[in-house]
Amino acid sequence: MSCLPRFYHCFSLRSFPSSLRISPTNLIAPPYLRSRSSPRQLSPALMTSVATSRLLHLNSTAVASLENSSGGPNGSPVPSSSPPSDNYQAENGDEDLLFGYHLPPKEIRDIVDAPPLPVLSFSPHKDKILFLKRRSLPPLSELARPEEKLAGIRIDGNSNARSRMSFYTGIGIHSLLNDGTLGPEKEVQGFPDGSKINFVSWSKDGCHLAFSIRTDEEDNNCSKLRVWVADVDSGKARPLFQSDDIYLNAIFENFVWVDDSTILVCTIPISRGSPPKKPLVPSSPKIQSNEEQNIVQVRTFQDLLKDEYDKDLFDYYAVTQLVLASLDGTMKSIGPPAVYTSIDPSPDGKYLLVYFIHRPYSFIVPCRRFPTKVDLWTADGEFIKEICDLPLAEDIPIAFNSVRNGKRSINWRPDKPSTLYWVETQDGGDAKVEVSPRDVVYTQPAEFKNGEEPEILHTLDLRYGGISWCDDSLALVYESWYKTRRTKTWVISPGRKGASPRILFDRSSEDVYSDPGSPMMRRTQEGTYVIAKIKNQDEGTYILLNGSGATPDGNIPFLDLFDIHTGNKERIWESDKEKYYETVVALMSDYGEDELNIEQLKILTSKESKTENTQYFIQSWPDKKAVQITKFPHPYPQLAQLQKEMVRYQRKDGVQLTATLYLPPGYSPSDGPLPCLVWSYPGEFKSKDAAGQVRGSPNEFAGIGSTSALLWLARGFAILSGPTIPIIGEGDEEANDRYVEQLVSSAEAAVEEVIRRGVAHPNKIAVGGHSYGAFMTANLLAHAPHLFCCGIARSGAYNRTLTPFGFQNEDRTLWEAINTYVEMSPFMSANKIKKPLLLIHGEEDNNSGTLTMQSDRFFNALKGHGTLCRLVILPFESHGYSARESIMHVLWETDRWLQKYCIDNPDKLAELHDSKTEAPKTPQPTGRLTATEAQEDDGSNHTMRSLLWFLAFIL
């Protein structure tokens, strides 16, 4: 992979995959499909159902493989079913309710099946744009293909790539004309019809494209990947290799441009034979040992290696032969076959930074923690030196900000021809160790002299968070600490010995109102990206800060001209505040000097409103004229006139909360209250002030993904989307110690607000969520049954004792916080849940912590207490759902649940439930103390009883 900053700008207009693997690129996706939450607060699956991520930087070399992390059992057949039906079955015990795939109502189906709009990618010189064309949802038969689950990854053995990769169906090239408009489309041609395209990548000079091609075979498998190249001017494509025996190995790295005409490709070794055969009789028991008494705490990783056969199979698929291939047809194998995970050419193309993993492998951690070696080679593959060889990392502490010991984040300086930099921890990687400094940043040229020691560039007392490079006079170094939410930005002069670093920003990462923005990056002649220096009228050193502009009235993105020495800033662009939501996407100026004149500034912006989908514009200085370059149609015109409002309200402890309220098109207050669906996802904070800050904009376009709660606008529901549910732990207090209390209080405030507004019927409010949102849903039905009539919980974890070494943002172990683990688990309160609960889970969920077993055991606990519940396990699906059959059925299940238990007489349902014959009054362990027991108990007995109750239940 390139050493450029990994700013992935993948803009799709609808149905973007839940997992995205991508090379450094100029790929652009629309803001309304990008997430509003941090990675720790939002699961990949939730990003699919609500939005995909909003990234504000743009990188310019290459596009992507779109891959879903879902999986299916090896060799399992596609489940047989009758043709999907969009009619509800009879409710008198009809067995059809327990069999077959079904379709949701047409008004929902039409939105999900709408053709996806293309992904955009700009050329390195910003003079051409690719329109990367996509298909709609894949069929279940594709997910049913065999796959191998090895070392934390899922592999399609037939194609020797990650399984469940999505793909592009075509490539269109548009020239960006002088007036800012787009020229006619030129289709890339020459590859077979029906080809699946991945890893689209611009050459450094923008004259060629490289991409992979695979095709479907008769047995429903997909062929191995071949590398193709296309001439951008003519649009003609051809295979890179003349031989038909050379295939791409895309398990880790795929290929990278070394210069304008040379590509370094990861290939399947030609000498590789058949896969190893699994022995009928194992050669040994499965043995793990800790006779050294090491402390090894790991989270609940999945798809790990199980035995020696798995190790051999992993090597079989992952071992790569590197091949240097020229556009003129010449090729050369370099280096020995190995499990290469990253190949990074130096900016001047003279050297290669080569990462690979090697044995001994582990049965308890994924491959990213396997022993890792980093070497420095010449561009021709000649070994120069070993940078590091990191041992197996099974013992990284689970505390946040803990890291792997030794050298890490080894990269090329983008402002130098061939200079390396890296970080080394001084605390052994353990965040609980108090030491100063905690991290040290080093730098050293590739052409170092024997015995020459690396130079210390900077020392940090928090955890290193990256560097934005400019030149010898300027770089920005970032550090942060999760426990305190503190983040600092340092200004350093890398080429000036003796120059003192200074703090530029020192703030809370939670305080979005104080976020100054991020520096805009420009492309160098070598194809790397550095901070753009701006030439103003005076002699100051100016950069551009691009920010989200969070305010109490919502986000108002901005672009500031910032003097790096004085801290003075001038706002040179700002989003419309009244109707539109605009963002700065990328710097589009072409220039060869180190500084850009402010009068020649040119930027790419996006623009959207509540009812108008995202379009892209180029704005030029000095007149700031905006030229629209896209005219995408509305993705779901039937909801074009939906009503959206950002609402604010207060929790009983005074914390300010926000949510986005959506109402169906044409709704009037005179229509009266509606059934309402509340869909959310909790987040952790260290302060009430930060938790109460407004995030997002009331003017953002309402993006509707394939499993979004907003689909039920078409069914006449009011949708309360993303009501903030802050779990706050101020000072030394841990947020989760009051999780249930704060969860219920936030939900009460949200429900009271929609009832007060008259838009929601008090007895027809449902709650739902995905992943951690499913965990939230189950807890609310257990601890706040008065608020909701029913719930929908997708792909959740309900028993925290099954994730004993931390979960979500909890980094204490079960044994350090037994009460918290037990009391947070809705599994332990299954006897309290009386409202109807729909559980949905992918059968092959590979997300850490959310094993499919979580839903299975929770359903059994609910059923054991007579709760009205339903469990739907989706064959072949992972944490997020991909196949059209699966998604349509999920929507059918959800719509049926909402129609039956939200719309249809929830009061009568509750009366019927309460009038049912009570269960036998045999004393049951509940984990709760009587008043007498409480007087005699010091707290530990309560915890032990709860834990014993749980163990008795599952064993």
Determine the Cα–Cα distance for residues 677 and 721; give it in Å rounded to an integer. Answer: 8
- Known catalytic residues? 771, 845, 879
Phi, psi at residue 653, to the nearest 5°? -90, 10
pLDDT digits (tens, 9 = 90+) for 205-240: 999 999 999 998 877 788 999 999 999 999 999 999
pLDDT value at residue 85: 56
CA-to-CA dists, residue 805 to 367, 402, 802, 810, 877, angstroms: 19, 14, 9, 9, 26
Region of 771 (left: φ > 0; alpha: ψ -120 to 50; beta: rest) is left
Alpha carbon distance 161, 684 (integer Å): 36
Which runs of E-coded beta strand occur in 797-886? 837-842, 869-874
Number of separate helices (H) and strands (E) present in the chain = 13, 51
| Cβ 681 vs Cβ 772: under 8 Å | yes
pLDDT < 70: residue spans in the chain = 1-96, 590-593, 905-955
pLDDT in tens, 873-930: 999 999 999 999 999 999 999 999 999 999 985 554 444 445 443 444 433 333 333 3
Amino acid at 946: S
DSSP β-bridge partners for residue 558:
547, 574
Alpha helices in 71-193 (DSSP H): 106-112, 140-143
Does an H or E element contain 150, and which? strand 148-150
Q: Do residues 225 and 214 lie in contact, with contact meaning Cβ atoms separated by under 8 Å? A: yes
- Does the bond joining 360 to the residue before it have cis omega, within 30 degrees of 0? yes
Reported as type and span, the H/E element at residue 230 is: strand 226-231
- Quote the pLDDT of residue 537: 78
Question: How confident is the model at residue 290, as a pLDDT?
Answer: 86
The DSSP symbol for 677 reads E
The token pair at 353 is 């930074």
| Residue-level length of the chain | 955
Q: Is 20:68 a contact under the CB 8 Å cutoff?
A: no
Q: What is the largest CA-CA distance in the chain?
A: 86
**Angstrom distance (rounded) from CA 188 to CA 684:** 47
CB 358 within 8 A of CB 339: yes
Expressed in percent and rounded to 5, the helix, strand and coil fractions of the chain are 20, 30, 50
User: Residue 326: is it exposed, middle or buried by C-beta count within 10 angstroms (0-12/13-18/19+)?
Assistant: middle
Structure tokens belonging to residue 671: 């229509």
CB atoms near residue 721 (< 10 Å) = 20
830 three-state secondary structure: helix
Beta strands in 695-818 (DSSP E): 718-721, 726-728, 760-770, 790-794
Distance set, CA 649 to CA 62, 367, 656, 715, 756 (Å): 44, 46, 6, 27, 11
Tokens of 793: 């919980």
Task: Report pLDDT for 383.
Answer: 96
Asked whether the bond before 184 is cis by omega within 30 degrees of 0, the reply is no
The confidence score (pLDDT) of residue 263 equals 97
